[in-house]
Amino acid sequence: MASAIVAKIRAHFPRFVLLVAWVLLVLWLALTPSPPRVSGVFGWDKLQHAAAFAVVTLLAGWSFAPLGTRPLPGWFRGWLFAVFWGALIEVLQGTLTRTRTADWRDFLADLLGAGAVYLAAVYWHRRQAGRRDFFTTTLRR
């Protein structure tokens, strides 16, 4: 069993490299005293959080989905990874830095970005499986 997972990780290693690189970039941006400034609508802090954690979820789900027998549990693990990473970053901002502060609204934006990608992945995989009644079956459970 473990050797099968190792073989799958090796086969999809570039995905994990992208995930680690993005996660480290997000960590640096979150903890640096003066992150780069962006103007316009993309300068809105909450949009930056949602977008960053949407990408974390996308890369994590894309990395974890091939490891199991079904893709959706991998996408759920990717969502969980993004949620825990967002919570950890807020804790680190509140404890390790003097120039940054933890903010529950930032974490909420992280959740929204991660949740949007997870729901899109669930929708897409259910459509691929021929389940066209996505919202009906999801809401009934």
Rounded to whole angstroms, the Cα distance separating 28 from 47 reads 18
- Read off the pLDDT of residues 45-99 as tens digits, 9 standing for 90 and up: 899 999 999 999 999 999 988 777 777 888 999 999 999 999 999 999 999 988 8
Give the global pTM. 0.81
- The per-residue pLDDT of the chain, averaged, comes to 87
- Read off the pLDDT of residues 32-52 as tens digits, 9 standing for 90 and up: 988 888 888 777 889 999 999
- Read off the pLDDT of residues 5-28 as tens digits, 9 standing for 90 and up: 777 777 778 889 999 999 999 999
Mean pLDDT of 106-117: 97
Rounded to whole angstroms, the Cα distance separating 3 from 131 reads 33
